[in-house]
Amino acid sequence: MKVSELMTTDPITVSIDDTFSKVMSKMNETGIHQLPVMDGDRYAGMITYSDLLKKRSIQVKSKISNYTISTPTLNADDDVLEAVRLIKDTGLSALPVFQKGKLVGIISRTDIIKNLPQIVDVRDVRIFQIMSSDPIYVYEDDDIEEAFDSMRMLNEVEIPVASRDEKLSGIIRLNSILNILYRQKEKIKYGGYGEKEPVEIKCKSLMDPPVSVDRYAGIDEAVKLMMQYSLHIMPVTDSGKIVGIVDFSDLINMIKTESKEGILIEISGLDVYDEDLYDIAFELSERFLDKFSKMTDVSQGKLLIHVMKYKTQGSTKYSIRTRISAPPLFLVQNGSGWNFAEVLGEIFDRYEERIKKMKEKQ
């Protein structure tokens, strides 16, 4: 299957001379969170929602060229597995597609996932095999700033909303929150944009109706619902309670590609100034993955590490969620504590114990 068969043609673009204000408005209006930036007819790079949200302060009149990132590109005749490989390797949600030097389309994770059953055999895979079993959500009576913080931390554009008895009651979207914040302020002075200002709006007032699947549902059912409701996440419920979550990355990682040898490490939740934590994470991860490959004979895949930091009385507590997506293995392990290295090390120790037990049963 070629990229041209799945890509979105006539993609929406922005100019290097467009302002932050104009680009944010276009993203919010279209619901598209990654746009090609053009310098006339020349491709200048991409602008992404998540990168903008991480900035400390942005003036609404700033030119978007200051925040453009370089990306790989694809040819319309490339195999779709090459697009999947690049999206998995770079962590980007979309890539530009060219033909004879001209931008002719864009292929996104959405384009790939809505065609997932045609790319990979998902008939025998159940939701519980790939879901995160430690889902993060907000409560109906939480302020929307709580949902905003959580989405920024998770690098997601939606998050489930639950009642106080942990039952799914809705899904809140980043666009809905930013539309309110953006209208209220000439400069967004929240989260990634300057100083916090209180926003006394509850999640319940902005959430969409609940959408979910059972843990034993098939992948095709989840994909169908995600496309129908334009969702990037799918809550997993049992008797109405949230027991897991599946996102686009989980689905993309089901597709085996001829990636470079080795298991990729993807770390999220840390800030640019957490260099020491990045160093620790990569060192421990590489050491563990060397053992993992020898124990399982699996040499390709991805290790996802998501870090959440909580400030308490001058100290930082770390909650770390991890997942190994290395077909045919899909493993999840979480941990928390005050020492980052100890928490991550204990997570990897538990993975090794689980793998040893799996091998003993074979």
Query: Domain residue spans in the chain?
Result: 3-112, 127-252, 262-361
> What pLDDT is stored for residue 151 in this prediction?
84
CATH topology of 3-112 equal to that of 127-252?
yes
Non-local (6+) Cβ contacts of 291 within 8 A are: 352
Window from 9-18, 137-146, 353-362 with minimum mean pLDDT? 353-362
Mean pLDDT of the chain: 85
The yes/no answer on whether domain 127-252 falls in CATH 3.10.580.10 is yes
pLDDT reported for residue 199: 54
Query: In the chain, where does DSSP find H-type helix?
Result: 3-6, 20-30, 49-54, 80-90, 109-113, 116-119, 144-154, 174-184, 203-206, 219-228, 248-252, 275-296, 340-361
Q: Residue 260: which pLDDT band, with cuts at 50, 70 and 90?
A: low
Q: 3-state class of 339 per DSSP?
A: coil
- Determine how β-strand 213-214 pairs with β-strand 233-238: parallel
**CATH class of the 262-361 domain in this structure:** alpha beta
Q: Are strands 262-268 and 300-312 parallel, antiparallel or unpaired?
A: parallel
Question: Backbone phi, then psi, for 104, in 5-degree steps?
Answer: -120, -10
The torsion region of residue 91 among left (phi > 0), alpha (psi -120 to 50) and beta comes to: left
What band does 271 get if pLDDT is binned at 50, 70 and 90?
A: confident
Taking only Cα atoms into account, the Rg of the chain, rounded to an integer number of angstroms, comes to 21
Contact, 178 vs 189, CB < 8 A?
A: no
3-112, CATH topology level: CBS-domain (3.10.580)
* Residue 105 CB-density burial (10 A; 0-12 exposed, 13-18 middle, 19+ buried): buried
Q: What is the pTM of this model?
A: 0.73
pLDDT at 149: 82
Query: What is the tens place of the pLDDT at every residue in 211-239?
Result: 999 999 999 999 999 999 999 999 999 99
Question: Quick one: pLDDT at residue 122?
Answer: 86
